[in-house]
Amino acid sequence: MNPTHDPERQSWVASANRPGSAFPIQNLPFGVFQAPHPSANQPTLGVAIGDQILDLRGCSVAGLLTSLPAAAVAACGARTLNPLMALGQECWSPLRARLSDLLRADHPGAPGHQQALGPHLLPMAEATMLKPAVIGNYTDFYASIYHATNVGRLFRPENPLLPNYKYVPIGYHGRASSILVSGAGVKRPLGQILSTDGAPPRFAASQKLDYELEVGFFVGPGNRLGEAIAIDRAAAHIFGLCLLNDWSARDIQAWESQPLGPFLAKSFATTISRWIVTMEALEPFRLSAFARPPQDPPPLPYLDSEHDRHAGGIDLTLEVYLRSARMRETGSKAVRLSRGNLRHLYWTVAQLLTHHASNGCNLLPGDLLASGTASGPRDESRGCLLEITRNGLDRVSLPTGEWRGFLEDGDEITFRGYCERPGFVSIGLGECSGIITESSQPGAVSP
Ligand code: MN
């Protein structure tokens, strides 16, 4: 850890110092925003500080970043985070240190900084947040053994966990083009759905629309095709974390996924949160990896390291909230569906990244890898409705008297994520939310 994690450090941006702020000066997550002014509305890199966004292009043009490597200054002027992601820790770390110095209240130059940075601060409420990177590839894993076991139990009660699970991190290649940023509507998908009466499948709107509570992580510097990433080098290839909702149509999934796995049941939409929290900001919240019980096999050597066993976990609390259209109309607060923690993942983010590249597959800056549904050991930490309602059987009651087995049109799902540790300032990942909208009529096509 370093002075940017100092719990005493406060910002002259007052909202950053409020207890419960997701974005204190110890966080400094990156995103891409668009300002409302027509003269300056091109996509711009920004850093969240309290309820404000610091415009990185503005800072670099104003000469406030000249102490940094030239490549880092240039990357701050880009329209996506990909160039910065490609540069690695040698550039990320000095940039974070410089931004922390510019924003801290007790810096000797603070009055000057405040004056110089003033024109480059924008209230978050006025900005539109865009996709933070060009995401060339998206991969979704299945790293929670609790999720894998709960789901397995629904469909194979006699044999819930398949024998490969404890050896190989399971994943599939997802769809990058349909990744949305928090706040965008999610249209209920149409697809082939099997009836229960043995009739042939029909093409209709999904009736089993679900969310999956996940964490995504962005690849920083990639690896060359044919070259792997050693487990102890994995951290150098990870830029940061976001919340991720892997929307899933369970009825479409049940029929189409044999034998090749997820396809149209997942590819219609994936929502990510607006800000990427860097691995450096998460440093105080690292802990040991999942403690495998003695009867479990140890990871194969290429997925095993002393450091990853000791500090590969992340202590990140994850919550899911639902608010229906009727709850909004009647002023009802959202209900919490679950609360869990990323520390319960069976595989660490380093193991997932190393495994992905282990066959020589080249990862690229801006590629997105996701954890899989991050369920924990307790009933209250189940990360999707498939698990919570046991495939729609045990419905959840809402304060309006409504019931939910799966999601209805108008339902809003919001994820929240935050890290806490005594002696440190709590940081947040912000929110990841989306409202379900009505499906198209079957047969409707783009002109
Ligand atoms: Mn998933």
* 199 falls within a domain: yes
Query: What's residue 445's pLDDT?
Result: 72
- 142 CA distance to ligand 1 centroid (A)? 7
Q: Which of 79, 95, 130 is the last residue before a domain boundary? A: 130
Strand-pair partners of 11? 104
Known catalytic residues?
A: 147
3-class DSSP state of 225 = coil
Residue with tokens 């990942």: 429
Mark whether 93 and 154 lie in a shared domain: no
| Rounded Cα distance, 144 and 372, in Å | 7
Mark whether 380 and 288 lie in a shared domain: yes
How many Cα neighbours within 13 Å face the side chain of 14? Answer: 0
Mark whether 283 and 393 lie in a shared domain: yes
Mark whether 116 and 243 lie in a shared domain: no
- 427 CA distance to ligand 1 centroid (A)? 25
> Which residue positions in the chain have pLDDT lower than 70?
39-40, 446-447
| CATH number, domain with residue 19 | 2.30.30.230
- 175 CA distance to ligand 1 centroid (A)? 12
* 258 falls within a domain: yes
Mark whether 216 and 288 lie in a shared domain: yes
- 210 CA distance to ligand 1 centroid (A)? 10
* 444 falls within a domain: no
Query: What's residue 447's pLDDT?
Result: 67
| Rounded Cα distance, 97 and 95, in Å | 5
- 372 CA distance to ligand 1 centroid (A)? 4
- 12 CA distance to ligand 1 centroid (A)? 40
3-class DSSP state of 264 = coil
What would the two tokens of residue 232 be? 């102890």
Which range of residues forms the domain containing residue 39? 3-130
Q: Which of 130, 146, 162 is the last residue before a domain boundary? A: 130
Name the domain count of the chain: 2
**Non-local CB neighbours of 357 within 8 Å, separated by 6+ positions:** 223, 227, 228, 229, 363
First CA to last CA distance, the chain: 55
| Rounded Cα distance, 97 and 6, in Å | 12
| Rounded Cα distance, 338 and 358, in Å | 34
Q: Which of 82, 103, 130 is the last residue before a domain boundary? A: 130
- 262 CA distance to ligand 1 centroid (A)? 9
| CATH number, domain with residue 406 | 3.90.850.10
Query: What's residue 39's pLDDT?
Result: 67
Write the pLDDT tens digit of every residue in 86-120.
Answer: 999 999 999 999 999 999 999 999 999 999 999 99
- 415 CA distance to ligand 1 centroid (A)? 14
What would the two tokens of residue 150 be? 């709960």
* 65 falls within a domain: yes
**Non-local CB neighbours of 232 within 8 Å, separated by 6+ positions:** 305, 307, 308
* 295 falls within a domain: yes
